[in-house]
Structure formats: structure tokens, C-alpha cells
Amino acid sequence: MEKLLADRTRQIDASGIRKVFALAEKLKDPVNFSIGQPDFDVPDELKEEAIKAIKAGQNKYSQTAGEEALKEKIAERIKKEIGWERSAVLVTSGVSGGLLLAFMALINPGDEVIIPDPYFVIYKHLVNMLGGKCVFVDSYPSFQLPLEKIRRAVTDKTKLIIINSPSNPTGVVYSEERIKAVAKIAAKKKIIVLSDEIYEKFCYEGDCPSIANYYERVLLLRGFSKSYAMSGWRLGYAAVNETLKNVIEEMTKIQQYTFVCAPSPFQKAAMAALDYDVSSFVAAYRKKRDLIYEGLKDKFELVRPGGAFYVFVKSPAKTATEFVEKAIANNVLIIPGNVFSEKDTHFRISYATSDEKIKRGIEILRRLA
């Protein structure tokens, strides 16, 4: 078996999450705080757009970089929100697809990638798989951008800084002040910042600042999976300012020989999604955020999240894995922090579930604290 498989397979460890799912299978009607996607369905209007596109025969490959009309609409939106007069856009198979293409286009073996810890787990495994080196900068306990550590982590080999706000797994929104400071650090050595903004809509205290507003060398990744609950439709996009357009060109080349294109009938629905107002969903999720935070704050140590649908809570047991096992034995599914971190001190709750389940989960977790 060892000889059969490529060496890179040994760099990937999916055991943490798999263990939780294996345990979950045995539970009856658990409180499932482990899921990383919204609990609402795709709005009917957007489903209709996808059905219409399929019936009208839009079932073939699209252009490699995506339907022209969709790319133009995305570029318009970016011009309005970010102020980039001209941008280059690539429609991807989810943000995950965008991440793989970005890393393939940018990372040479030995290149260093600065990643605030905790992090979205894909970053680590893809960077490792490509022979890059993850340089983690600890952001505990506030989970804000650790500026001094980022500054010290920069070397001549630094290729990329990854930021993700609102963040998975912490729900923290990076402050404008810190984002500007990271832009300054990156600008000194012209380092590209990859900004994963997949949770941009789930923003509970005003707007979530984007580093693209303060820095030109940003590779912006945004998606449709979370905002419109289309995680199965596999749609996202990558965008850069004109100055970095060769990055998008190279990513497009690699898309041509890997994903070929993003799912084409759904690209039509994505056009409509860009005009769809999700503020009522966001308002409901803000209430869920309040429910979970208020329900746990006197018994657990946790930072009040400003976005996404996660809270990252300090484990009352010595290790998070220990506490997670106890929670699962009591019918609550949570994910141990070591899945998203070099530490195992916290656990992630996804509160993308019904209010009734959230209340039940709070009650059980409080008992176990």
C-alpha cells in the first residue's frame, strides 16, 4: 500500500473530523453543532434560475474562466465595493477550487505561507501538499490578527499571507486598523495577501472590512456556498486588481486542465444571486449568534463573534478532544480545535441550526462545563 500511494497522501490527515462524523452516525437526533453550512435552503427564485438554465440547454462547458456576463457582473460589484477600476475575474468551483488554483499558481516548494492560527483547515493541507511551508502565527486568545507575530514571520521566502475574515473557526471579524497594518507589512515586500471572504455576508456589526480596500496585491476569494446556501452547487470566484492579472491568467490555465469550468447552469443562477438580498437570513443568524453567546458566556471562555456562524470556545477539560468526546457522549456534536489549529485547547461550535437545537445544545454544554 505504501508503494502504491503517492508520498503527498501522507501529508494529509483528515482523522479529526472523520472521528466526529463516525461517532455522529451512531447518535439519534443529536444536536449537530459540527456542520459548516447554513441550515436554510437556496431561495426559490434562485432555484428557478438554475432550473430555467438547465431547461434552456445551458448544460455544456462554459468558458474556462466563467460566463462573460457573470464575470462582468462580478467585476462591476468589485468596482463598487472595492474601487478597483479594472479587475480580472475567474469563476471557480467553490472557494475550495479557487484555493487550489491559487496555491498551484503561486507556491513553489519551500515557499512560506503565513497563516494565522486557528485557520480553515484546507489551507494547511493544500500548502503542504504542494511542498510549501506553513508558517503559523498564533492568534489566541483574541483571534485578532497578531501583527507583531506576522511582522516577525516575514522572511525572504514569504510568498503569501492568508487572511480569512469573518473567520472559520472563530467567527472573529478582523478590525479595520489591523487589516490596514497587515497591508502595510505586506506592502514592504510586495507580498500577496490571499483574502478568503466566503463569510462576507454573515457580518453582524456593520460592514466587515476587506483588505482589498487598502492594498492592491490582494487575491480575493469569495463564494456562493454560504451566502445563498448553495454549497452543493460548487461556485465561487477569484478576483484581483489589474496589477495582478497574470495570477488570474495562470489560475485560469490550470483550471483548464483540472476543473475545466465551474458548473455552467449554476453560473446563470449566480448572476441572480448577486442581486439577491440575504439580509433577512443574516438577521436570523445574528439572533442565533446572540443566543449561543449569551447562553455560554458565563460558563465558558469565548470571544463574541462578529460574523460567520461559528464560535470557538475554550475547553473546560485539559484537551479539547477530551471535552468533545464527553459532549458527543451527551449527544452534542462539536469539533475539537486541533482540526483547525496546532493547539487542542478550544472547540468549534457551528450554530447554523434551528433555535430549538441551539437551546438544547446550550443546556447540555452548560451541564458539562
CB of 96 or CB of 362, closer to ligand PMP:
96
As a 3-state breakdown, the chain gives helix, strand, coil percent values, each rounded to 5, of: 45, 15, 40
Q: How far is the CB of 322 from ligand PMP (least distance, A)?
A: 25
Grid coordinates given for 20: 466526529
Following CA atoms 362, 364, 365, 369 in sequence, which dihedral angle do they give, to the nearest 10 degrees? 130
**What do you get for the CA distance between the two ends of the chain, in Å?**
43
Shortest Å distance, C-beta 120 to ligand PMP: 4
- Count of all residues that appear for the chain in the document: 369
- Nearer to ligand PMP by Cβ, of 77 and 151: the residue is 77
Which of residues 36 and 307 has its CB atom nearest to ligand PMP in the complex? 36
CA 222/CA 92 separation, integer angstroms: 10
Residue with Cβ nearer ligand PMP (126 or 328):
126
Q: Torsion angle of alpha carbons 28, 31, 35, 39, nearest 10°?
A: 100
* Nearest distance, CB of residue 1 and ligand PMP, angstroms: 29
CA–CA distance, 101 with 95 (Å, rounded to integer): 10
Nearest approach in angstroms of CB 234 to ligand PMP is 7
Nearest Cα to Cα of residue 36 among 169, 147, 190: 169
The answer to whether 98 and 90 are in contact (CB under 8 A) is yes
Question: Looking at beta carbons only, is 62 or 225 nearer to ligand PMP?
Answer: 225
- Closest distance to ligand PMP from the beta carbon of 94 (Å): 3
Residue nearest to ligand PMP (CB): 94
Choice between 94 and 171, CB closer to ligand PMP: 94
- Determine if residue 95 is left, alpha or beta; phi over 0 gives left, psi from -120 to 50 gives alpha, anything else beta: alpha
- In the complex with ligand PMP, which residue's Cβ is closer, 162 or 185? 162
Minimum distance, C-beta of residue 349 to ligand PMP, in the bound complex (Å): 14
Going by the DSSP 8-state scheme, the letter that residue 203 receives in this structure is: B
For the bound state, the minimum distance from the C-beta of residue 222 to ligand PMP, rounded and expressed in Å, comes to 9
Min CB(226)–ligand PMP separation in Å: 7
Q: If DSSP states are collapsed to H, E and C, what string results for 266-310?
A: HHHHHHHHCCCCCHHHHHHHHHHHHHHHHHHCCCCCECCCCECCE
Which residues of the chain form contacts with ligand PMP (CB under 6 A)? 36, 94-96, 120, 164, 168, 196, 198, 223, 225, 231, 236
Report the distance separating Cα 230 and Cα 237, nearest Å: 14
Cell numbers linked to 111? 515557499
Cβ nearer to ligand PMP, comparing 17 with 147: 17
Q: Where are the extended beta strands (E) located within 175-301?
A: 192-196, 218-223, 236-241
What is the smallest separation between the CB atom of 227 and ligand PMP, expressed in angstroms? Answer: 10
182 versus 194: smaller Cβ distance to ligand PMP: 194
Sheet order of strands, 192-196 included: 87-92, 236-241, 218-223, 192-196, 158-164, 112-117, 133-138
